[in-house]
Amino acid sequence: MKFKFATFFLFLFFPYLTLSIYAANEINIKKVGILLYTKNSLPNFEGLKAGLQERNYVEGKNIHYLFNGTIDSIDELDSAVEKLLAQKPDLIYSAPTPPLLALQKATIKNKIPILFGPVNDPVGAGLITNQKHPGGNISGVMLTESEGKRLQLILDFSPKNKNVLLPYNPDDKSATISLKNTKAAAKILGIEIKEQAVRNVEEINKMLSNLPGDISAIYLPRDGMIMAQIDDFVTAAIKHKLILSSTRTDLVIRGALYSYGFDGFEVGKQVARLVDLVLKGRNIGDIPVETAEDYMAINLKTANAIGITIPSHILRRADKVIR
């Protein structure tokens, strides 16, 4: 009789037990919000997912990414932030500086943990006040101050390369910081920086169709909008036989002559470790801001197209060479 009663009980309540277990599993799924400014940050996101998968986070099983697509204009950021916060993420990953500033303003009260990667200068941008002890709800991976080393390479290709065009978006704090650091380095190196403010794609196209005749290189700053137009810059640089200097490895793969800076995929993997710490209970305010590693990449196809020879000692230093 006891056996029959137990069987009846199990039969009656098994569906409810199953639903309870399923609900528990649903509760354990962590929701990670993703807010990216321009498609340049997509390799970062891929690196983040790869890094989290290495730490046993499986999409749909114990983690869910809330990604509504990349943002192409700074004017769209506030509405994108509002939409993402309405989805109630447990944590947010964002890059580069512009969406972080929008998120910072929107999370003053709820203090949702926010991890960045990369950001040019989080202290200079006002995201944090201390790299070792951020103290608030924001931390992540920042870039090294390597503008001087990248600019030096233009002279290493040829000492005659003294006039350099630097287009930038004055509404992007990362871009203005990059401009300031580059101009400081240029003063030491004896290079003249011809800065050109551009706020949208139309202004970039207008600038590229009327390039100054005395420049030998175009230097792309750490500016999301500028980097998003890499294909147009590559076309113009090759047409006018100009050196095109970029900030990240994947832009060299797409045709820039060289880069000295970060690799987006690797930065994403680096951020994944910090995400894991936060999801496991670490206070984000106690997580020091880390620094991304710099890599040098050179595109020999582009070098041939613009008619320059890369010195062998520079090629030996490169982490990646596109042949």
Virtual CA dihedral for 17, 23, 25, 31, nearest 10 degrees?
A: 180
Q: Average the pLDDT over 209-233 and give the result.
A: 96
* pLDDT at site 27: 54
**Predicted pLDDT of residue 13:** 46
**Distance, CA of 204 to CA of 257 (rounded, Å):** 19
Single-letter residue type at 98: P
pLDDT over 70 for what percent of the chain? 92
The predicted-structure confidence for 117-134, as pLDDT tens digits, reads as follows: 999 999 999 999 999 999
pTM across the whole model? 0.86
**pLDDT, tens digit, 9 for 90 and up, residues 72-104:** 999 999 999 999 999 999 999 999 999 999 999
Q: Give the residue among 87, 130, 132 at the shortest CA–CA distance from 112.
A: 87
Give per-residue pLDDT as tens, 192-203: 999 999 999 999
Hey, what domains does the chain have and what are their CATH numbers?
28-143+264-291 (3.40.50.2300), 147-262+295-322 (3.40.50.2300)
pLDDT at res. 54:
98
Mean pLDDT value across residues 165-188? 96
The span from the CA of 165 to the CA of 94, in Å, is: 29
- Which residue in 147, 103, 115 sits closest to 270, CA to CA? 115
Buried-state track 114-132, b at ≥16 Cβ within 10 A, e below 16: bbbbbbbbbebbebbeeee
* pLDDT at res. 127: 97
Q: Is the pLDDT assigned to residue 42 strictly greater than 60?
A: yes
Tell me how long the chain is: 323
The sheet with strand 217-219 has its strands ordered as 192-197, 163-168, 217-219, 243-248, 258-262, 295-299, 320-322
What is the per-residue pLDDT for 28?
83
